[in-house]
Structure 1
Amino acid sequence: MVASVAVIQGAGGALGSHFARHLLKRTSLSVVATSRDPSAAKRTILEGAGDTVDESRLKVLEMDVREEDTIAKAAQEVKKEFGEKSLRMLINASGVLQADKSIAEVSAEQLLNSFQLNTFGHLLTFKHFYPLLPQKNDIRNSKADGSSDPAQGAVQPGMGILASLTAKIGSIGDNQKGGWMAYRASKAATNQAIVTLQRELSLRSTPSIAVALHPGTVVGTALSKPWTKEEDAGKKPGHFTAEVSSGKLLDVLKGLKQEDGGRFLNYDGKDLPW
């Protein structure tokens, strides 16, 4: 059986919901969307999606990445409904921005919240969904080819993808202005987790890769509204709507091959400094 499930963690947000919507339109994959509020997430995903979307391929599960038991439960539900080796793609899209301007503004509460949503939740989601990735024998025994692959080019045949939205601002090499300590540190930590996960995938000869993704400056989202203007989308370099940004990142993913695991990629597919 060909792995045919795409999981979008944080599907109630602007980017997460658009990832789910794009995949429903572009592929034949079953899309599993997770959110703390499943009903609201489903409405957001299907709103404006048009008649071409097959709603029967969308499953929305309740999951709070701050509560590990809900992640484990969601992974078990996917395993039960779709099979033990059904995962083809996982995108972690949850995130929060605490805009501290200096070390004096950092608090334990804000640090914990930032790391829970930007780092720990991503890592724990990988932990519980990782066992659903096919191994080499599973791929070898399947009858996957380009024409029958439900990913329809969104992922290379015989390969799976584990991805996290991090941010260029999490780059240590690119840090010129300082500030936003909790956000920068939690994103940098997630980048490290991606590289470490890729090493494990390689050591276990798992035919899947892990990558970190920068979506650009996404306007009109709950996270970005205080610092961006919606009219800047498409006008200022690197400023996009959630629909455009998520589409660009999926275009990046579809071109990746086995040797691309462990990269930190911009929305245009270029490598970013760690």
Structure 2
Amino acid sequence: MARVLIIGASGGVGAALAEVLAARGDAVTGLSRRDAGLDLTDEASVTQALNRFEGPFDWVLVTTGALEIDGAAPEKTIRDISQKAMMDQFALNAVGPALVLRHAARLLPRKTSSIFAALSARVGSIGDNKIGGWISYRSAKAALNQIVHTAAIELSRSHRENICVALHPGTVATSFTENYLARHPAVPPQEAAQNLVAVLDGLSPVDTGKFFDWAGKPVPW
């Protein structure tokens, strides 16, 4: 049985992960804005929420994120850039997970196997970007990927059995993507969660600092 902390446990993917992991006997603790007042865009809120726990947690999963914030849809072109919309994307999708990672060394076991995983997105891949658009969301997820990769290097020095990765869950049929489902095939949250758990179960410390999709295939940075 693993001890699992899920940040964003009330969201579509987070809730499904909690259900899948609990069903197999893991001890799941969930944090979210809805159920615990956690605001990932507020440093004090993150610190207060995570200071409640001493750990260790075998897995810490960050499943938060948003495509639209305050009604700002992903840009079709660089000409649509808004400073506020871009800053909002970075605050939630990049800085928020970084604030959680700030506590990872304390929350994860130092001598046994552990996982820190954050949900990224394939559109955050610079190497995979062939059509442009979605500047703010892409950039925030690219920043998240760099944050995860950097944290993996640091954690490997003190937590040699740790696996710190970014994950692309695929397109999942949740409120997160409801305005965009007509453009891409999507899977139910339960299926996405099962896919992600299978990927995480198959990783080892040699995989730390990498970016994987829902099928366990590496995604280019």
Q: Is residue 192 from structure 1 mapped to residue 139 from structure 2 by the alignment?
A: no
SS at match of 2:51: helix
| Mapped partners of 1:204, 1:211: distance in 2 | 16
Cα displacement string for residues 206-231 of structure 1 (whole angstroms, at most 9, x for unaligned residues): 42110010011112x1221111049x
Instruction: Please say if 1:227 is aligned against 2:180.
Output: yes
Question: Which of 28, 32, 44 in structure 1 is aligned with 2:29?
Answer: 32
User: Is 1:266–1:272's contact at 8 Å kept on the other side of the alignment?
Assistant: yes
Alignment RMSD (CA, Å): 1.7
Match of 1:139 in 2: none
State how 1:92-131 maps to structure 2 within 5 Å: 92-97=62-67, 98-131=73-106
Residues 32-181 of structure 1: matches in 2 within 5 Å? Answer: 32-38=29-35, 61-79=36-54, 85-97=55-67, 98-136=73-111, 158-181=112-135
Contact 1:75 1:129 in 2 (8 A): no
- Percent sequence identity is 35
Q: Secondary structure at the match of 1:78?
A: coil
| Structure 1 residue runs of 4 or more that deviate by more than 6 Å after TM superposition | none
Aligned-partner Cα distance in 2 for 1:229–1:130: 41
Q: Find the aligned partners of 1:209 and 1:36 in 2 and give their Cα distance.
A: 26
Alpha-carbon distance in structure 2 between the residues aligned to 1:23 and 1:6: 8
Q: Measured at CA, do residues 116 and 131 of structure 1 come closer, stay the same or move farther in structure 2, by a change above 3 Å? A: same
Could you tell me whether the CA contact under 8 Å between 1:96 and 1:117 is conserved in 2? yes
1:77 counterpart letter in structure 2? R
Amino acid corresponding to residue 46 of structure 2 in structure 1: I
Please list every run of 5 or more consecutive structure 1 residues that lacks an aligned counterpart in the other structure: 39-60, 80-84, 137-157
Q: What is the aligned length?
A: 216
Contact 1:13 1:94 in 2 (8 A): yes
* Alignment partners' CA distance in 1, 2:104 and 2:159: 17
Cα pair 1:71 1:128 within 8 Å, conserved: no
CA distance in 1, matches of 2:132, 2:176: 19
TM-superposed deviation, 1:26: 1.5
Deviations 1:172-195 (A, max 9, x none): 011000000001000111111111
CA distances 1:87-131 after superposition (whole Å, capped 9, x unpaired): 111111111114111112111111111111111100101112431
Letter of the 2:122 partner, please give it.
Answer: K
Q: Take 1:173 and 1:228, find their aligned partners in 2: how far apart are those partners?
A: 24
Deviation (angstroms), 1:204: 2.4
Q: What stretches of structure 2 of length at least 5 have no aligned partner?
A: 68-72
State the alpha-carbon separation in 1 of the partners of residues 188 and 17 from structure 2: 12
Name the counterpart of 1:51: none
**Structure whose CA Rg is larger:** 1
Aligned counterparts of 2:182 and 2:77: Cα–Cα separation in 1: 24
| Partner secondary structure for residue 106 of structure 2 | helix
Q: TM-score, normalised on structure 1?
A: 0.75
- Other structure's SS at 1:217 match: coil
Residues 211, 107 of structure 1: alpha-carbon distance in 2 compared, 3 angstrom cutoff: same
